[in-house]
């Protein structure tokens, strides 16, 4: 009886920790929680915003709009199926930006990862 109670407690604790941690990707520094993909990218927010706009254009997303400053930025677009794409950029340190991507209501990790890869490729032109 005692070992069954112990096993139940361990199982409950493990389930709680798994739920509390959220879903983690295998990419260091990147998380996908509740449909929002988040990562840190080397580059100032204005450079990352410009690279994010170019990434959306590369992927032929529709209605691409971009606004940005030295401390933050935002890029919005739509997929061919009509899903909204929102890329938010915030300063996370000196020459480091936190990028969060939301594709549609529930998120799309594949599209988000493609955008991050293309953003990093465009930043390579800046020497970052």
Domain assignment present for 62: yes
Domain for residue 15, yes or no? no
For residue 13, what pLDDT is reported?
46
d(CA 7, CA 50): 53
- 85 inside domain: yes
Q: What is the pLDDT along the chain (128 residues), one digit of tens a residue?
A: 555 555 554 445 444 444 444 444 444 556 667 889 999 999 999 999 999 999 999 999 999 999 999 999 999 999 999 999 999 999 999 999 999 999 999 999 999 999 999 999 999 876 65
How many structural domains is the chain composed of?
1
pTM metric for this prediction: 0.75
Say which CATH number the domain at 120 has: 3.30.310.80
Burial of 51 per CB tally in 10 Å (0-12, 13-18, 19+): buried
Beta strands per DSSP E along the chain: 31-33, 36-42, 62-68, 72-78, 84-93, 96-103
- Listed residue (77, 96, 83) closest to 35, CA to CA: 83
2: in domain: no
> By residue range, what is the domain housing residue 93?
24-124
Q: Does 10 fall in a domain?
A: no
In a domain, 14, yes or no: no
Residue 41 lies in a domain: yes
């Amino acid at each position: 009886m005692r070992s069954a109670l112990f096993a139940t407690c361990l199982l409950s604790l493990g389930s709680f920790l798994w739920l509390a941690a959220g879903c983690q990707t295998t990419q260091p520094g990147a998380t996908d929680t509740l449909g929002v993909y988040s990562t840190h990218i080397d580059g100032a927010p204005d450079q990352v915003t410009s690279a994010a706009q170019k990434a959306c254009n590369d992927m032929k997303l529709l209605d691409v709009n971009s606004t940005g400053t030295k401390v933050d930025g935002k890029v919005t677009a739509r997929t061919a199926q009509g899903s909204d794409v929102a890329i938010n950029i915030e300063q996370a340190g000196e020459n480091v930006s936190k990028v969060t991507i939301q594709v549609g209501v529930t998120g799309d990790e594949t599209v988000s990862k493609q955008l991050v890869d293309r953003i990093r490729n465009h930043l390579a032109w800046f020497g970052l």
